[in-house]
Structure 1
Amino acid sequence: MKGLFVVIEGPDGSGKSTVAEGICRHFKEKGVDVIHTREPGGTAISEAVREILLDPKNEAMDPRCEALLYAAARAQHVEEVIRPALAEGALVLSERFVFSSLVYQGLCRQLGLAPVEAINAFATDGLVPDITLYLDVPEGTGKERMKDRLADRLESDKKITDTVEAYYRILAERRRGELSFIDASMDAEQVLSAAVEAIEKEYR
C-alpha cells in the first residue's frame, strides 16, 4: 500500500508539535505505521544543518545561504527518511516542509517565491505532501505562546519576528486550495479531532 505524506504547517506557537503527537497516538492505536519527523532535521545530517541554521552566533548568514541550507537539509530528509517510509506504506507526518521555506525565505527574507520553490523542487525531486494541515491561529497567538522560550537565530531576528505571522496568513490565503485549514484556536481535543478527520478522508 502506498504511504501518505502529511505535513503540519503554521506559525511558531500554533501547536504543530502537540497536534503531531496526538495524530501519532491516534493512528498508532489503530495499528498504522507512523513516522513522525520535523524540519529542519529528521536525519543526522539534517540535524547538523539545523544547528547551523538556528545558532544565534551565525547572525551574518546571507538569506540565500539560509535558503540553500534549508533546501539541503530537506533533500537529505526526503531521501533518507520520507521516501523510504512512504514506499513501505507508512503515514509520514512532518512538522514543516516547503511551505515554511516559502514563508521564511521567500517572503520574510524577500527572496521571492519562485526561486525558493525552484531550489526546493530540486531538493525534494518533486515530492509534495498528500495533505498539508494548516493550523490557523488568531494574530499574536504565536508571539504570546513563545515569549518565555529561548530564541534561536530566526526567532531573535526582527526581520522575521515582525513579519512571519502576517506572511503565513498571506500565503495560506493565497494557497487555500492546497491546504486543509484547522482552526487552532479551538481546545486541544477539537483541534486534534479536526486534524485526524482531515487525514482519515485520505487514508482509508
Structure 2
Amino acid sequence: MAEGERTGRFITVEGIDGCGKSTQARLLAEALGRAGYDVLMLREPGGVAISEKIRALLLDPANAEMSDTCELLLYEAARAQLVHEVIAPALAAGRMVVCDRFYDSTTAYQGYAGGVPLDVVARANALAVGACAPDLTLVFDIDPAVAARRRAARDEDRMEAKGLAYQHRVAEGFRAIAASDPARVHLIDAARDVDAIHADVVSFVKSQLRTVSE
C-alpha cells in the first residue's frame, strides 16, 4: 500500500507547554488499547532516531540564536521522517496512532506566535505530511500563566524559555485553529484535574470513533 493510503485512525494532541497534553495523550492511548484498538503512541518532534536528534537541536537552550525559518524547517524535517518511517506505515496497517503534537503545533508556534506567514507554514506542513493529516485533534486549552506555574518545577527548554507573551500568542493560535476547523479540532478545558479531563477525553474520542464506524 502506498504511503498515505490508510485504514487506521490518526489522533493528535495539542496545546501550550504545561497544559497537561502529554499526560492526557498517554492516558488516552492506554484507554484505547484497553478498548481493543491496536494503538501506537508517538511524540513530536521525535519518535524515530533521526527526528530525536533534530528534537535535541530544537529544544536545546544553547541554540537561542536559531532563526524562525530554521526552526520551522527543522520541525518539518523531523515530522517528515516520522511520517515516512512510522506514521504512514502504521495507518496503512490499520493501527490507531496517537501523537503528542503534530502540524498544528507548527502553525500555532512558528506561525501565530513566531510570525512566519501562515501560508508558508501551511505549505511546509503539507510537504512534510503528505496525505497523513489527523482525523481528530484535541487541543488542551489553559491560561498560559497557570501552565507556567505548572512548569516552574522543571528546567525550561528553548521553546518554553521564549516567555509568557509568546505562550499567550501560541494559545490564541490554537484557539484560532480550532475555530477554523471545528469538524477536526476540539478544545478541551485543561484547567481541571487529570481524572476529570481524562474521562471527558475518552468519552469524546470514543463517541467520534463510533460515529466514523457507523
Unaligned runs of 5+ in 2: 1-5
2:172 equivalent in structure 1: 169
8 A contact 1:46–1:76 mirrored in 2: yes
1:94 equivalent in structure 2: 99
Tell me the secondary structure at the aligned position of residue 181 of structure 1: strand
8 A contact 1:172–1:179 mirrored in 2: no
2:3 equivalent in structure 1: none
The alignment-based identity, stated in percent, is 38
Q: What is the CA deviation profile of residues 104-138 of structure 1, one whole-angstrom value per residue up to 9, with x for unaligned ones?
A: 11122211211011111001114211000011123
Tell me the secondary structure at the aligned position of residue 128 of structure 1: coil
Deviation at 1:3, TM superposition (A): 1.0
**Mean alpha-carbon deviation: is it higher for 165-174 or for 147-156?**
165-174
Asked if residue 117 in structure 1 is aligned to residue 122 in structure 2, the reply is yes
Deviation at 1:147, TM superposition (A): 1.2
Distance in 1 (CA, whole Å) between partners of 2:177 and 2:161 is: 27
Tell me the secondary structure at the aligned position of residue 175 of structure 1: helix
Match 1:145 to one of 132, 135, 150: 150
Asked if residue 71 in structure 1 is aligned to residue 76 in structure 2, the reply is yes
Match 2:36 to one of 24, 31, 38: 31
Measured at CA, do residues 45 and 170 of structure 1 come closer, stay the same or move farther in structure 2, by a change above 3 Å?
closer
Q: What is the CA deviation profile of residues 24-60 of structure 1, one whole-angstrom value per residue up to 9, with x for unaligned ones?
A: 2211112211111110001110000001111112122
1:134 equivalent in structure 2: 139
Match 2:195 to one of 189, 192, 197: 189
Tell me the secondary structure at the aligned position of residue 118 of structure 1: helix
**Mean alpha-carbon deviation: is it higher for 32-41 or for 131-140?**
131-140
Deviation at 1:172, TM superposition (A): 1.4
How many residue pairs match? The answer is 202
Tell me the secondary structure at the aligned position of residue 182 of structure 1: strand
What is the identity, as a one-letter code, of the residue corresponding to 2:206? E
1:41 equivalent in structure 2: 46
Q: What is the CA deviation profile of residues 137-196 of structure 1, one whole-angstrom value per residue up to 9, with x for unaligned ones?
A: 2341211101121111122234xx422234323441453214111111222222111111
Tell me the secondary structure at the aligned position of residue 35 of structure 1: strand
What is the identity, as a one-letter code, of the residue corresponding to 1:122? L
Which TM-score applies when normalising by structure 2? 0.88
Distance in 1 (CA, whole Å) between partners of 2:169 and 2:125 is: 22
1:3 equivalent in structure 2: 8
Q: What is the CA deviation profile of residues 60-110 of structure 1, one whole-angstrom value per residue up to 9, with x for unaligned ones?
A: 211101100000000001111111111111110001111111111112221
Measured at CA, do residues 81 and 123 of structure 1 come closer, stay the same or move farther in structure 2, by a change above 3 Å?
same
Distance in 2 (CA, whole Å) between partners of 1:30 and 1:79 is: 27
Asked if residue 62 in structure 1 is aligned to residue 67 in structure 2, the reply is yes
Unaligned runs of 5+ in 1: none
Distance in 1 (CA, whole Å) between partners of 2:47 and 2:173 is: 28
What is the identity, as a one-letter code, of the residue corresponding to 1:181? L
